Structure 1
Amino acid sequence: MKHNEFQSGCTDNRWFIGYVFSNLAAGLTTPLIPLFIVFYLKSNVEFVGIVSAISSLASVPALIMWGNLSDKVKRRKIFIIIGFMGSFLSLLMVLFVHNMPSYISMLIMFQILAMASVPVSTLLILENSEQSAWPKVMGKFNSYSAVGTVIGLGVGVVILTLFSGIGDILMPYLYVIAAWFYLIAGVISIIVLKEPKQEIKREKIGYLFALHVIERVRYFPTHLVHIPGKENKIKIPGHLKLYLITTLILMMGFQLFFIPYPVFVIKKMNASENDIYIMYLLNSLFSAATFIPAGKYINYIGSNRMLSISTSIRVILFLSMGILSFFVFDTVGYLLFFILMYGIFGGIWSFIGISEVTSISNMATSTIRGKVIGYYNSLNGVGQILGAGLSGFIAYDISYSFDFILAAIIVLAGLMIIVYSKPPDIQYSQKKTVRIQS
């Protein structure tokens, strides 16, 4: 690397490899909550919802705590190491898990420690780069993260394929393998990661956003900039508050559908552990494949219009799946269909996620944009907690079909609020400020 390239912002990015391994571990563990509860602990969808909600609940205050602490001590590297090494140690606790309380304790510890690396990763990149290089460097970082997640899910598929027939016994060891990947990520960070020579304060970069939320089992962002309570005291306009509440309603509806979905496929179509991993892998692949096209189409037709279209498609599909679930039989054809649909839902999420953040950024002025994005992060978490917590009870005590149809109704309610409130639909290409988006 040439010296002038380093000066212009193309800093040493070898530490990104650490995030490849951490995302590999995250991908490997993403399907494990429903699988571990159903196959290893021999429990039901009710506890899948409860555990998912508790796991998500632990991550939200942890994000705020670690973000505030990292800003106070003005260090970045130590928090990334805490996140990776803490994930390694907490996942090894699975070797002592034999019941639901011990499993929940492990997940809470994991969420609290893993979140340490999230609020500092984006700032570390920005502080090691010139502003002109931020979009390019963040794009590279996002690509590394996405590749790691897909590889992790692929590793799970390979392991379960090689050891077909004993998948339920393998569940704890998949967590152990993921733990070692986190250890590798931590060692790489210790060796190659350096503290930045400049400090950027979050409140000074309100025009930036960076967000990557896995819309599956738990609220688990991999990197972000803004944290609630860290921005200015200017009040958020009423129409923007309504939009933020709407995103909470949408996420609640989404999670009401997705949390029981893997258990539904297992119980109704006799899906194996490997089938569920393939289902999650397709979801990630579809999401990655549609990310760039989503940005282009949103730029062309406007973010709120795209959000309305993509959300409408989900409402129709949720209703269809709810009705179809009344007539599902244990056949290969149904199993393949429901696995494929889960992949398609991942592709639709790219359009919804990018539309929401783009709309919020466009509607907020530069003085409150960081504050608003920070609240959006937290409200997404609240939506996931509510949706996850309710989903297990509804699916178990009433039916999966009712749960899916109720999810469609809730998402439709959020969509109607958007249509009724008619938020401004500014194409983000018209804005002149720099944005970073995962």
Structure 2
Amino acid sequence: MDNRWFIGYVFSNLAAGLTTPLIPLFIVFYLKSNVEYVGLVSALASLASVPALIFWGNLSDKIKKRKIFIVIGFVGSFLSLLLVLIVHTMPSYVFMLVLFQVLAMSSVPVSTLLILENSEKSAWPKVMGKFNSYSAIGTVIGLGVGVLILTFFKNEGHQLIPYLYVIAAWFYLIAGIISIIVLKEPKSEISRGKIGYLFALHVIERVRYFPTHLVHIPGKENKIKIPDHLKLYLFTTMILMMGFQLFFIPYPVFVIKKMNANENDIYIMFLLNSLFSAATFIPAGRYINYIGSNRMLVISTSIRVALFLVTGVLSFFVFDTVGYLLFFIIMYGVFGAIWSFIGISEITSISNMATSLIRGKVIGYYNSLNGVGQIMGAALSGFVAYDISYSFDFILSAIIVLSGLLIILYAKPPDIQYSKKIVKSHS
């Protein structure tokens, strides 16, 4: 397979990284609205991606084509993001994001399959390792580009924000052109259910939480039932994700409103989160080998609960000072580091608790339930933070995550070492 395709994927992830912090910035600074709409718009955009993922995934399987959907996703992202130049109201912004999600999701269900179908099976872990690495690198570069643009053009004020979408759109177009030139249709076809373990885990926790990869779409093709204990574990991951989303969606707006943070501060905050997450990914996988996946999940989730509570308490006494701003920016980076341990722990346990006959199906439900938790948390977060307080939102998120943690402690899933297959595919 021509590795130049991976360069195209760097550009698409660069664009995704550049747009990651833009929903709260666009709504608060450009549209001059509040955190309530940040939560609502995030939920609506995520919700739009769910039927789009299923539609594009099923359509690609039906017509037996892959490349065209990559092109539609990248070029469609380019065209939809250019609409930001005529966006001046909340409804038009929602329309742009929903259209972007529907078109961008075209590339998601087929990207992994296309790469694997163009590679020898023995090379899959190595190929997926490169794929994941390029994805993480692109995201970090995109956030870094955002920091540089906002630094050099800081005198432009809030009017610069829409043009970050425009710049991201051109990066998507570059990715589309590269895919048109380089990418080839695969010579063989692979069943989604057989490769779920290869791409179920994100190196970087998407704070925006829009789906970025989907390998297996749950369906009726597999009649084997999922064991009750595994269903409970999957349900628990949904609760955890809901609590995480409830905390993270209002967090940038909290830093803006309470500590007078500007656009550059928010980009730096997101950049630290991504860098810390990527930096701890491999060490997290190795450390789980020593203490087991369940114990690692309990420890890392407990740390997040404690930090959520600390944030909630401190938010009662926040002052507009540089020291407080630095503290909350660095705290956001620490949350990214913790994600590596949580994400690896979850997927290690799920992949090993599921037999090979239902692993793809289980991974599909894991992705789906995570999506449900993301949408629920996003929808609830804005209302809680705006109508009650940020402090209550942060403490409530800690309580929800704690409830998921208690279920894990009650269920006592097995402590499993990190799968060598997953290590290789993400290293």
TM-score category, normalised to shorter length: over 0.9
SS at match of 2:213: strand
| Partner in structure 1 of residue 400 of structure 2 | 410
The one-letter code of the counterpart of 2:142 is: G
Match status 1:347 vs 2:334: no
The 1:307/1:434 distance shift into structure 2, 3 A limit, reads: closer
Match status 1:338 vs 2:328: yes
CA contact (8 A) 1:28 1:156 kept: yes
SS at match of 1:229: coil
Match status 1:283 vs 2:273: yes
Question: Percent of aligned pairs with the same residue?
Answer: 86
Instruction: Give the Cα separation in 1 of the matches to 2:318 and 2:110.
Output: 46
Which of 305, 319, 322 does residue 329 from structure 1 map onto? 319
- Tell me the CA shift for residue 367 of structure 1: 0.6
| Partner in structure 1 of residue 39 of structure 2 | 49
CA contact (8 A) 2:114 2:186 kept: yes
Instruction: Give the Cα separation in 1 of the matches to 2:284 and 2:220.
Output: 30
Deviation digits for residues 13-45 of structure 1, max 9, x if unmatched? 111111100000000000000000000000000
Instruction: Give the Cα separation in 2 of the matches to 1:126 and 1:399.
Output: 47
Instruction: Give the Cα separation in 2 of the matches to 1:425 and 1:147.
Output: 31
| Partner in structure 1 of residue 103 of structure 2 | 113
CA contact (8 A) 1:231 1:368 kept: no
Instruction: Give the Cα separation in 1 of the matches to 2:2 and 2:151.
Output: 38
Match status 1:37 vs 2:27: yes
Match status 1:177 vs 2:167: yes
CA contact (8 A) 1:64 1:228 kept: no
* Worse overlay, 322-331 or 200-209: 200-209
| Partner in structure 2 of residue 78 of structure 1 | 68
Instruction: Give the Cα separation in 1 of the matches to 2:177 and 2:148.
Output: 25
- Tell me the CA shift for residue 131 of structure 1: 1.3
- Tell me the CA shift for residue 435 of structure 1: 7.8
Match status 1:67 vs 2:67: no
| Partner in structure 2 of residue 124 of structure 1 | 114
Gaps of 5+ in 2: none
The one-letter code of the counterpart of 1:298 is: I
Instruction: Give the Cα separation in 1 of the matches to 2:114 and 2:332.
Output: 34
Give runs of aligned pairs for residues 152-171 of structure 1, distance below 5 A.
152-171=142-161
| Partner in structure 1 of residue 291 of structure 2 | 301
Deviation digits for residues 66-97 of structure 1, max 9, x if unmatched? 11111111111001001000100110111111
CA contact (8 A) 2:56 2:105 kept: yes
**What's the RMSD between the two structures over aligned residues?**
1.6
- Tell me the CA shift for residue 168 of structure 1: 0.9
Instruction: Give the Cα separation in 2 of the matches to 1:252 and 1:273.
Output: 26
Instruction: Give the Cα separation in 2 of the matches to 1:55 and 1:283.
Output: 22
- Tell me the CA shift for residue 226 of structure 1: 1.3
The one-letter code of the counterpart of 2:153 is: F
Instruction: Give the Cα separation in 2 of the matches to 1:402 and 1:220.
Output: 25
The 1:49/1:251 distance shift into structure 2, 3 A limit, reads: same
The 1:432/1:195 distance shift into structure 2, 3 A limit, reads: closer
The 1:433/1:150 distance shift into structure 2, 3 A limit, reads: closer
- Tell me the CA shift for residue 213 of structure 1: 7.5
| Partner in structure 1 of residue 187 of structure 2 | 197
- Tell me the CA shift for residue 210 of structure 1: 3.5
Deviation digits for residues 287-323 of structure 1, max 9, x if unmatched? 1100100111112211111111100000000000000
Match status 1:102 vs 2:75: no
The one-letter code of the counterpart of 2:108 is: V
CA contact (8 A) 1:214 1:220 kept: no
The one-letter code of the counterpart of 1:109 is: L
* Worse overlay, 226-235 or 138-147: 226-235
Match status 1:228 vs 2:218: yes
Instruction: Give the Cα separation in 2 of the matches to 1:204 and 1:284.
Output: 30
| Partner in structure 1 of residue 370 of structure 2 | 380
CA contact (8 A) 1:214 1:221 kept: no
The 1:434/1:232 distance shift into structure 2, 3 A limit, reads: farther
The one-letter code of the counterpart of 1:356 is: E
The one-letter code of the counterpart of 1:36 is: F
| Partner in structure 2 of residue 395 of structure 1 | 385
Instruction: Give the Cα separation in 2 of the matches to 1:284 and 1:230.
Output: 37
Instruction: Give the Cα separation in 2 of the matches to 1:211 and 1:322.
Output: 29
- Tell me the CA shift for residue 220 of structure 1: 2.4
SS at match of 1:28: helix
* Worse overlay, 77-86 or 299-308: 299-308
TM-score w.r.t. the length of structure 1 is 0.94
CA contact (8 A) 2:40 2:378 kept: yes
| Partner in structure 2 of residue 7 of structure 1 | none
CA contact (8 A) 2:125 2:198 kept: no
| Partner in structure 2 of residue 8 of structure 1 | none
| Partner in structure 1 of residue 300 of structure 2 | 310
CA contact (8 A) 1:160 1:273 kept: yes
Instruction: Give the Cα separation in 2 of the matches to 1:213 and 1:376.
Output: 16
Gaps of 5+ in 1: 1-10
Instruction: Give the Cα separation in 2 of the matches to 1:347 and 1:433.
Output: 19
Instruction: Give the Cα separation in 1 of the matches to 2:2 and 2:137.
Output: 19
